[in-house]
Structure 1
């Protein structure tokens, strides 16, 4: 397990992309990892054959721990030729029948273990897919002979057992053959050995399936959901949240976007949304009130010179906050491209760890879901988070007149250890002032 980032000490193996016996090229992904920051593929650092998986799916692995064994091409070329599977089976028959007129039944006499490669004892290691398939169909894996590398039971072996109709009775799925035939005897199965060789699958309740005796169902907590829960709990427990909201008249901005969006789509190839205008306004306000761009460090407050805006991107499974670095150096068009690129790669699962690091202030757009008011939780350890709510037309008093205007609420949560109402109120008003100043003369480039 490599050191994926400075702050990461472990990662969870989500899914193995390679299985024992598969060839692996240099830099070819061998498994998917889940970290506190982002999902990532782990590339191989050597070329060869995957011999053994040391850490299974769902296991949390510390940095520096071996997760698999890969036999390199150089090692394979210098190693003595291993006996074929046929030779091993033929060699096993005399050992199993020595000293007896016929073959002993598995129930009456323990069978000797097949002489697999000691560096790849895979007989008792089952993949989650094999465990699930066996559990669903009542197949006793102890009675299935594996055809995979090192005697590992594959999905094909379980399907063969199901097709034969022998799923775990008194006789094993691969019954002993007559003495004239060669066969690969299964390892001795005793109650004492069962604890070492069998993996009893946990009862799984599918989403939508009512639990026994009740009108409810359970959903497994994924590693990324567990990480979100941990981070949110840490933020609420450590940061004294305070909250404020202002109304903003976006009528001029709505008209500006309506006039520019078609040409912008044609020229840039992406949609022109309200978010880049909001980010530009936030950057301008942070420049005037840099304390908004800080973190609490117990005996000091650290103010960040770089303005790196985190943007919240949500899916049905999670919310991730990729970072736009040096947002103060980008135009509205540049910010629009950054937002589009990060949102696309987030939903496609193609973010890199660097895309999630270094954020100094978070902006969220809950208005896309029709929300008009929200109380956001601060993205720890930042000092504040701002949300843009949905834009609605409302009657508004303008001077002595009443007009229909496009109004929006901006909600701000802030760390009350660092920030007070006065500076946050002034920051809020500055963002409002910039947003309401957008008009026909606004430059996108």
Structure 2
């Protein structure tokens, strides 16, 4: 019997580390090849990681909530049928094993230690580390790395920027600039502590909530959000859906919601204003060829964003089936890593929870996110008369580094025109 060492997988092209969400198998449990072994969270995706082999979990090397670099050993699985000459255990690399066992708090504190004085660059740097270091004038060689083998991680650079901002040059009075740099450079800046009184309940932060908080803070600190909203008359759309929804469910096997209509309108708007279908890349803008729409979905484990790939190649029926399949698998915890990656723009159906106006946070490095609010029947002016119409607000947050107000306004107008053109007899095929 031999031992297979499972390492932290690569969950995205630019992802350099991952956080253990929860172990789905415990020590002593049998696991089949491709069966889900654990949940991993990164700044890009949340995903279940399948076991690479069949066997018995013999050791768990990294506790839930701990963040480790890609390639770090995280567990060991005993595999039957191996030759007798093989070792019972495969030791983890010396530099990586202690790091994997350290608590997350220790890893965060590590960058504050003095950097080695040799000035030697230890190993290669990931694109994310290199770009962040260049943006803030940090020399990675002077930063103490907390990754495996002393590798400098993104968090190490952020901590170095924070420390630099907190130490103004000698002889100069502290100004607002260092504080602004610290606030925008690192999501690790401590917020004001809560006041805990008798009778209050303190709930430890779940790993998924930590990742969500990190993403939201990073987006708000590094992306200059701007916001626009338009009102849309969807009376024709509501009449169409009401007329065909029962027949559609019987024929197609899925419910007909408003989401596929909105997604189709977003696709047409991205075609008309391709600047919204792009990503910020530090000193460049990446214009995406494919239109992959991320769809925010609430689950009992937190907010995730599965992606409808090539949404521009699907009609209303195809979008209805794709979106409901993703939502169903998201709530059952059966999404794959591919389902959660590759998004170029995000749509959030906030109206499902009854809102009429929201200011969504951009899913960076994307440059826009749009919401569809609750459809409300209310009196509006139509020509010279007042009529009761079904109205909906469409809200857009956009990255003002990439998109200007004129482009954002055109984007919303295309969505408005598309939705308002739908009538009771519009074909969905």
With normalisation by structure 2, the TM-score equals: 0.68
Match of 2:370 in 1: 386
Match of 1:279 in 2: 263
Alignment of 1:174-189 (within 5 A): none
Match of 2:171 in 1: none
Match of 2:202 in 1: 218
CA RMSD of aligned residues (A): 2.6
Distance in 1 between residues matched to 2:211 and 2:341, nearest whole Å: 15
CA shift at 1:300, angstroms?
Answer: 2.6
Q: State which of 238, 250, 260 in structure 1 corresponds to 2:234.
A: 250
Distance in 2 between residues matched to 1:64 and 1:252, nearest whole Å: 54
- Asked if 1:428 corresponds to 2:415, the answer is no
Distance in 1 between residues matched to 2:224 and 2:196, nearest whole Å: 42
Match of 2:390 in 1: 406
Distance in 2 between residues matched to 1:230 and 1:335, nearest whole Å: 31
What SS is found at the alignment partner of 2:270?
helix
Distance in 2 between residues matched to 1:17 and 1:76, nearest whole Å: 29
| 1:382-432 CA-partner distances (Å, limit 9, x unpaired) | 111111111111111111111101111111111111111111111111110
Residue correspondences, number: 318
Distance in 1 between residues matched to 2:428 and 2:378, nearest whole Å: 28
Distance in 2 between residues matched to 1:413 and 1:13, nearest whole Å: 31
Match of 2:322 in 1: 338
What SS is found at the alignment partner of 1:67?
strand
CA shift at 1:67, angstroms?
Answer: 2.8
Match of 2:52 in 1: 45
With normalisation by structure 1, the TM-score equals: 0.66
Match of 1:13 in 2: 20
- Asked if 1:354 corresponds to 2:338, the answer is yes
Distance in 1 between residues matched to 2:425 and 2:383, nearest whole Å: 24
Distance in 2 between residues matched to 1:54 and 1:357, nearest whole Å: 27
Match of 1:69 in 2: 76
| 1:54-89 CA-partner distances (Å, limit 9, x unpaired) | 333443333222233334334585699x9xxxxxxx
- Asked if 1:366 corresponds to 2:365, the answer is no
Q: Which runs of 5+ in 2 are unaligned?
A: 1-6, 92-194
Is the contact between residue 10 and residue 62 of structure 1 (CA under 8 Å) also seen in structure 2?
yes
Match of 1:122 in 2: none
What SS is found at the alignment partner of 1:306?
coil
Match of 1:33 in 2: 40
Q: State which of 285, 303, 311 in structure 2 corresponds to 1:301.
A: 285
**Greater alpha carbon shift after TM alignment, 23-32 vs 387-396:** 23-32
Distance in 1 between residues matched to 2:339 and 2:282, nearest whole Å: 27
Distance 1:326 1:21, change over 3 A: closer
Q: State which of 380, 401, 407 in structure 2 corresponds to 1:417.
A: 401
Distance 1:405 1:50, change over 3 A: closer
Distance in 2 between residues matched to 1:72 and 1:411, nearest whole Å: 53
- Asked if 1:318 corresponds to 2:318, the answer is no
Distance in 1 between residues matched to 2:394 and 2:378, nearest whole Å: 16
Distance 1:67 1:378, change over 3 A: closer
CA shift at 1:29, angstroms?
Answer: 4.1
What SS is found at the alignment partner of 2:342?
coil
| 1:73-108 CA-partner distances (Å, limit 9, x unpaired) | 34585699x9xxxxxxxxxxxxxxxxxxxxxxxxxx
CA shift at 1:270, angstroms?
Answer: 1.1
Distance 1:405 1:60, change over 3 A: same
Is the contact between residue 358 and residue 395 of structure 2 (CA under 8 Å) also seen in structure 1?
yes
Match of 1:240 in 2: 224
Is the contact between residue 38 and residue 351 of structure 1 (CA under 8 Å) also seen in structure 2?
no
Alignment of 1:79-90 (within 5 A): none
Q: Name the larger-Rg structure.
A: 1
What SS is found at the alignment partner of 1:378?
coil
| 1:220-268 CA-partner distances (Å, limit 9, x unpaired) | 1111111111111111111111111111101111101100101001101
Match of 2:116 in 1: none
Distance in 1 between residues matched to 2:46 and 2:412, nearest whole Å: 35
Q: Which runs of 5+ in 1 are unaligned?
A: 83-116, 120-210
CA shift at 1:295, angstroms?
Answer: 1.7
CA shift at 1:5, angstroms?
Answer: 3.2
Distance 1:400 1:219, change over 3 A: same
Distance 1:367 1:64, change over 3 A: same
| 1:260-287 CA-partner distances (Å, limit 9, x unpaired) | 1010011011111111111111111111
What SS is found at the alignment partner of 1:429?
helix
Match of 1:230 in 2: 214
